[in-house]
Copies of this chain bind each other. A is one copy, B any other.
Amino acid sequence: QSSVTLFGVVDAGVSYQSATSRNPVTGTTSKQSQWSLANSGYNSSRIGFRGTEDLGGGLAASFWLEAPISNDDGATGIANFNRRSTVSLSGGFGEVRLGRDYTATFWNDTVFDPFGTNGSGSSVINTVSGSTALGNTNYVRASNMVGYFLPPNLGGFYGQLQYSLNENTKTSATDTTAATSSSAGRYVGGRFGYANGPLDIALAVGQNVAVDTTTLTRKVQTINLGASYDFGPVKLFGELSNVKNKFDLAALGNSHDSYNGYLIGASMPVGAGLIRASYSTVRYNEGAVGVTGDDPRANKLAIGYVHNLSKRTALYATVARVSNRNDANYTGSLTAASTTGYGSTGVGYTGLPRSSTGYDFGIRHAF
């Protein structure tokens, strides 16, 4: 069927993760570790179907259905199209895209990270923003979205706007019940950038309504700025990120947690290979469950090497280390975000771990 392209990535590797916790009272430490055969250490394993139809007059219709797969254990096949499932109409006006897609605000986290939010090397900006404890279900992607993308011919300028429908039922008041309405699940975001020659720079803002009940409104607001510049022998990356978790309690007033992060990174081609390195940090500034001393801070240093056997097939090795400051005092919930994490399931701690180390060795094959 010529109108469909079947594509995918099968990425598997051996991963070792370890983390050291410290009892804040006695000072003794405990170590947890795990060996695993993991997927998606370099690129996310996936299978997808996509296609474009030329409608004439500059118009085109296209679709994109992409499923995450877990090829290490085979447990997840094409069970869902959570990675992306969209249908688009595009032309001189740009592109209108309907369905589930990446959020505008996630793009800067992954595009300007030399490790592309995959594997042990993924930045702490990514692991903090995506942590279950922060509870931003629309961090990476959102469903039921209407998106608009600028056309590609604007002299290097690019941009997108997105609105996800929350699909909640609105009810008018009756004799006995009050009117109900909720915005929970709604994501609104935008990204605007400029890419020309060696330079790429983009600013993104977004807001997800995580909870919206009569007693609590919780919104996660993200703003980030990323850039990369390719000097030829080396390409530099940088990102600034601010994520706010805003609790507006009807009874108790407001409380805002804030997570400020930055990343600097580099990649350097060496023959058929690519050396990658990044340093990222996130400072926790938590309102309600904060600490009395200095804000806790998670730092990650990651170094890796990718050896391309072909355009489609590569071997990779990554080592990353997270160190956490002011961990002894931390009583918040974002502990799991402070480990290298990739491939590990069930590694848990009491308090913020002191440090965590991850190693990945694998193969990525694309088709």
The residues of A with any CB-CB pair to B shorter than 8 Å are: 1, 3-8, 10-14, 23, 26, 28, 30-37, 47, 49, 51, 53, 55, 59, 61-63, 65, 67, 69-87, 89, 98-100, 141, 143-146, 164-165, 167-175, 177, 309-310, 312-313, 344-347, 362-363, 365, 367
A152 to B: closest C-beta gap in Å: 21
User: Nearest B residue to A13 by beta-carbon distance?
Assistant: B98
Residues of B within 8 A of A69 (CB): 65, 81, 85
CA gap between A345 and B13 in the complex, in Å: 38
Counting chain B CB atoms within 10 Å of each CB, the highest count among A8, A84, A87, A175 belongs to: A87
CA gap between A65 and B347 in the complex, in Å: 29
CA gap between A28 and B1 in the complex, in Å: 57
Given the known interface contacts A7-B1, A51-B367, A309-B55, the answer about A74 and B82 at a Cβ–Cβ threshold of 8 Å is: yes
| Contact A36 B143, beta carbon cutoff 8 Å | no
Counting chain B CB atoms within 10 Å of each CB, the highest count among A69, A71, A74 belongs to: A74
A329 to B: closest C-beta gap in Å: 19
Residues of B within 8 A of A33 (CB): 169-170
CA gap between A40 and B180 in the complex, in Å: 28
| Contact B74 A77, beta carbon cutoff 8 Å | no
